[in-house]
Amino acid sequence: MDKLIITVAITGAEVTKEQNPNLPVTPEEIAEEAYRCYLAGASMVHLHVRDKDGKPTQDKEIFKRTMELIRERCNIIIQVSTGGAVGMTKEERIQPVYLRPEMATLTTGTVNFGEDVFYNPPEYIEHFAVEMVKMGVKPEIEVFEVGMIENAQRLVKRGILKNPLHYDFVMGVPGGIPGTVKNLLHLVESLPPNSTWSVAGIGRTELPLATASIILGGHVRVGFEDNIYYKKGVLAESNAQLVERVVRIARELDREVATPDEARKILGLI
Ligand code: KMH
Ligand code: ZN
C-alpha cells in the first residue's frame, strides 16, 4: 500500500465560529492552522477562504495572501476549492485556479446539499477542467454520488483530462451518497484501475470512513469543513487534533503516513 495522504479541510464554506469558535477564518489563522496540521502529519490542505466578515469568498487576492502565508511556513500541498459556497457563479468559483496552486477540486455533478443545491452542470465541469489543464493544476475529483466517477471519465474520453485521476469521496452530505462502508466499497470498485482516492466523511461518518480507508489503501480527509466534533457532543479543539487522531489510527494499523513530497509522488505531482 502507498503511504497515507492526510488532507485537512480546515475552514470550508459553511461552518461558522458560532458553531465552533476554533474555526480559522483569517488568512493568518488559516495559515497557522495549516502549519499545525502539517506538523501533525497532514500532507495536503484543502483551502477555502473567508472575507473580512467571515463570509465565504473565492476572492483571488485573499487566496493569494493565504497561500503565501502557508508557503512561508511549510511545503504542504495546497489544493484550492472551486466549489466555493452554494450559489456562487462559475466565474467566482474558478478564480483561485489562476494562482496556479498544485491542485484544485473538481466536482463532476450536481447534488442536493442540505436545503440547497450544489450546482455543477456539464458546462461548469468542462470549464473548470479546461482551465485547470491550462494552468497546470491537478484536479481532485469530488464525488458526492457514484455517477460522478463516470462523469469524470467522460472528460478523459473526450481528451480533456488524463487517467489516472485522484478522487475524493465526499460521503454523508444530506442529499448525497450516505456515509457507509458498504457505499465506500461500491465507490472504490467503480474506479478505473490505478486511480488514487480519499474519503471525506461528513459529521459522525468521518472517523469510521477514515479508518476503513486506511485499511483499504485509500487516503483520508478530515477537518472542520466536514466535521466540527471530536466525539459526540464534544467540539474539536483544532483541525490538528483531528489529524493527530488519524495519524494514531494509521500507526496502529501499520500504515505509514506520507510527507508532502511523498504525497506529491503518489499523486504524480512530481
Ligand atoms: N462548499 C460546498 C458547496 C469543494 O470545495 O470543491 C462545496 C465544496 C466542494 O466545498
Ligand atoms: Zn471544500
H or E element in which residue 77 lies? strand 77-80
For residue 124 and ligand 1, the question of a CB distance below 6 A is answered with: no
Per-residue pLDDT tens for 148-174?
999 999 999 999 999 999 999 999 999
Per-residue pLDDT tens for 167-190?
999 999 999 999 999 999 999 999
* Inter-residue contact 166 to 193 (CB < 8 Å): no
Per-residue pLDDT tens for 87-99?
999 999 999 999 9
Cell triple for residue 54? 467571515
Per-residue pLDDT tens for 50-97?
999 999 999 999 999 999 999 999 999 999 999 999 999 999 999 999
Per-residue pLDDT tens for 205-230?
999 999 999 999 999 999 999 999 99
For residue 13 and ligand 1, the question of a CB distance below 6 A is answered with: yes
Task: Give residues whose Cβ lies within 5 Å of ion ligand 2.
Answer: 81, 83
Question: Measured in angstroms, how far is the CA atom of residue 14 from the centroid of ligand 2?
Answer: 9
User: Binning pLDDT at 50, 70 and 90, where does residue 108 land?
Assistant: very high
Question: Measured in angstroms, how far is the CA atom of residue 199 from the centroid of ligand 1?
Answer: 14
Q: Pairing relation of β-strands 116-118 and 111-113? A: antiparallel
For residue 170, the ligand closest to its alpha carbon is 1
Residue 149 pLDDT: 99
For residue 108 and ligand 1, the question of a CB distance below 6 A is answered with: no
